Amino acid sequence: MIQAMSAKGLRITEQRRTLARLFADAVGFLNPKDVYLGLALKHPGLSYDTVYRNLRILQEMGILEQFLFEDGVKFRMGCYGSHHHHHHMICLECHTIIPLEFCPMHNLEIPDTFQIVRHSFEVYGYCEKCRKQDLAQVVSA
């Protein structure tokens, strides 16, 4: 993350180093409050605005990916090796992410009168492992 920020011309501050460590150590997703609390431990006086601004910048640069869950927006490191446009299938139980290497938008008929600026497409459900665990729990009950 530090290399990507530097390559994009961002100044590498101690706050951004801590932010990078926070995401590197994270298992799964972080919401903005998690990020704020993690950064505030080392950087007292940090504002929510600073956290949101950095999350937005890193998301716009493709370093972080943003996902909308029922309980709010969450972030994680971007998919490695996928530097092209793609979407995701996300397990609601274990948060496994499976990249979709195609874009469903290509199959839609968009009226010529509408200009698309951006879009997102995420599929939420349960992976095979989590489905098997749930089935095993039902059978054993």
* Per-residue pLDDT tens digits for 4-13: 888 888 899 9
β-sheet with 87-91: strand ranges across:
97-100, 87-91, 122-125
Choose one of 58, 78, 98: the last residue of a domain. Answer: 78
Spell out the alpha helix ranges (H) of 8-112: 14-25, 32-40, 48-60
**Does residue 98 sit in the same domain as residue 70?**
no
pLDDT, position 53: 93
**Does residue 56 sit in the same domain as residue 15?**
yes
**Does residue 69 sit in the same domain as residue 93?**
no
Q: How many CA atoms lie within 13 A of 72 on its CB side?
A: 8
pLDDT, position 133: 82
**Does residue 60 sit in the same domain as residue 9?**
yes
pLDDT, position 12: 93
**Does residue 73 sit in the same domain as residue 105?**
no
**Does residue 29 sit in the same domain as residue 89?**
no
Per cent of the chain over pLDDT 70 is 91
List CB contacts of 103: < 8 A, sequence separation 6 or more: 85, 86, 87, 121
Question: Which residue positions form the known binding site for Fe cation?
Answer: 85, 119
**Does residue 92 sit in the same domain as residue 74?**
no
Which structural domain range is residue 50 located in? 1-78
CA distance 13 to 24: 16
Question: Which residue positions form the known binding site?
Answer: 85, 91, 94, 119, 127, 130
Question: Which residue positions form the known binding site for Zn(2+)?
Answer: 91, 94, 127, 130
**Does residue 69 sit in the same domain as residue 91?**
no
CA distance 93 to 139: 19
pLDDT, position 138: 62
Type of residue numbered 66? Q
Give pLDDT < 50 ranges for the chain: 81
> 29 phi and psi, to 5 degrees?
-100, 155
